[in-house]
Amino acid sequence: MNRIFSCAVLCALIFAACKKDNPYPAEATGGKKIAEISQNNVTATLWADDPTLQTGYNRLYVSLKDMRDNEISNLPVSFFPLMDMGDMKHSSPVEQPLCNPQTKKYEGAVVFTMPGSGMSAWQLDVSVDGDIFTFPLAVNARTLQQSGVYVGTDAQKYIIALVPPRKWQMGLNDLDLFICRQTSMMEFPADDGFTVELTPEMPSMEHGSPNNVNPVSVGKGHYKGKINYTMTGDWRLQLKLIKNGAVIVDGAYMDVLF
Ligand SMILES: [Cu+2]
């Protein structure tokens, strides 16, 4: 009786620390190891879907092990990206990680707003119950524009990023955008207050496509809609951001090639 009771309590605790409540597709597994750091009897491993990090939206994953090689999934974990540019430092938009009980990985995301270089490099500080693991990161410039920093007509700075899908296909696709406001060098709160107008075009052939669905806010900075690719090739997703009836950002775009 006593044993059954303590198991129930333990299970409740595990699920509280590790609940399945994240926006990522099941295919995003973080199967590529980036680096591993051991300190204070904990080994933290950083993973990504693609080992080459690029500007824009990157899913990042952390797994934790104790000295006996047991997975740890009940500690609070948070991400803090930082770029040291010498005379100043700044962070970037982040989605704080949640533990996926299937993979035991803490899954989050970072939008890198610029590529790193020798003089100004990115790092990811991962806080594990207050203990900071610092991972130096190489971030390359993405060849296609899939994120941008825009100054709005309200004089605020906004970051818009395309959340990479598993795979684009001909026809109707799910579209997910992540939108944040920059309020300081270190703070980028998600902004759920926009109406988004989406106009896809094919620059090489000068045509658009019908039956697209404007992305609408689903919370935590995410906007979900549909995009209709009537053929393969190069597509430009023109975006207009409207708030309280006023156009705040016009001329933003994301480029796709498939
Ligand atoms: Cu920078």
Same domain, 54 and 131: yes
Q: Is 246 contained in some domain?
A: yes
Measured in Å, residue 92 CA sits from the centre of ligand 1 at 9
Average pLDDT, the chain: 91
Q: Which of 124, 140, 156 is the last residue of a domain?
A: 140
pLDDT of residue 16: 42
Residue type, 254: M
Measured in Å, residue 120 CA sits from the centre of ligand 1 at 6
Same domain, 170 and 241: yes
Measured in Å, residue 78 CA sits from the centre of ligand 1 at 21
Measured in Å, residue 182 CA sits from the centre of ligand 1 at 14
Average of per-residue pLDDT across 75-90: 96
pLDDT of residue 119: 87
Same domain, 152 and 245: yes
Q: Is 1 contained in some domain?
A: no
Same domain, 112 and 211: no
Q: Is 48 contained in some domain?
A: yes
Measured in Å, residue 121 CA sits from the centre of ligand 1 at 8
Q: Is 66 contained in some domain?
A: yes
Measured in Å, residue 126 CA sits from the centre of ligand 1 at 19
Same domain, 159 and 196: yes
Taking a C-beta distance cutoff of 8 angstroms, is the pair 62, 126 a contact?
yes
100: number of Cβ within 10 Å: 22
- How far apart are alpha carbons 159 and 148 in whole angstroms? 6
Taking a C-beta distance cutoff of 8 angstroms, is the pair 60, 94 a contact?
no
Same domain, 121 and 154: no
Measured in Å, residue 238 CA sits from the centre of ligand 1 at 26
**Nearest Cα to Cα of residue 31 among 67, 72, 54, 61:** 61
At residue 51 the predicted structure's pLDDT band, cuts being 50, 70 and 90, is: confident
Residue pLDDT, tens place only, 108-125: 999 999 999 988 999 999
How many structural domains does the chain have?
2
Measured in Å, residue 111 CA sits from the centre of ligand 1 at 12
- How far apart are alpha carbons 249 and 35 in whole angstroms? 38
Average of per-residue pLDDT across 196-200: 98
Cβ-Cβ contacts under 8 Å for 81 (sequence gap 6 or more): 91, 92, 94, 110, 112, 122, 123, 124, 125, 137
- On the question of pLDDT at 24 being above 60, the answer is no
Q: Is 18 contained in some domain?
A: no
Taking a C-beta distance cutoff of 8 angstroms, is the pair 78, 95 a contact?
no
At residue 15 the predicted structure's pLDDT band, cuts being 50, 70 and 90, is: very low
pLDDT of residue 30: 81
Q: Is 16 contained in some domain?
A: no
Measured in Å, residue 107 CA sits from the centre of ligand 1 at 24
pLDDT of residue 14: 45
Same domain, 68 and 98: yes
Measured in Å, residue 93 CA sits from the centre of ligand 1 at 13
- Give me the domain span that covers residue 181: 147-257
- On the question of pLDDT at 208 being above 80, the answer is yes
Q: Is 192 contained in some domain?
A: yes
- On the question of pLDDT at 81 being above 60, the answer is yes
Q: What pTM does this model have?
A: 0.88
- On the question of pLDDT at 184 being above 90, the answer is yes
Q: Is 45 contained in some domain?
A: yes
Same domain, 133 and 55: yes
Measured in Å, residue 82 CA sits from the centre of ligand 1 at 8
Same domain, 175 and 234: yes
Measured in Å, residue 56 CA sits from the centre of ligand 1 at 13
Same domain, 155 and 203: yes
Measured in Å, residue 190 CA sits from the centre of ligand 1 at 20
Same domain, 72 and 120: yes
Measured in Å, residue 91 CA sits from the centre of ligand 1 at 8
CATH number at residue 94: 2.60.40.10
- On the question of pLDDT at 138 being above 60, the answer is yes
Same domain, 185 and 135: no
Coil, strand or helix at 93:
coil
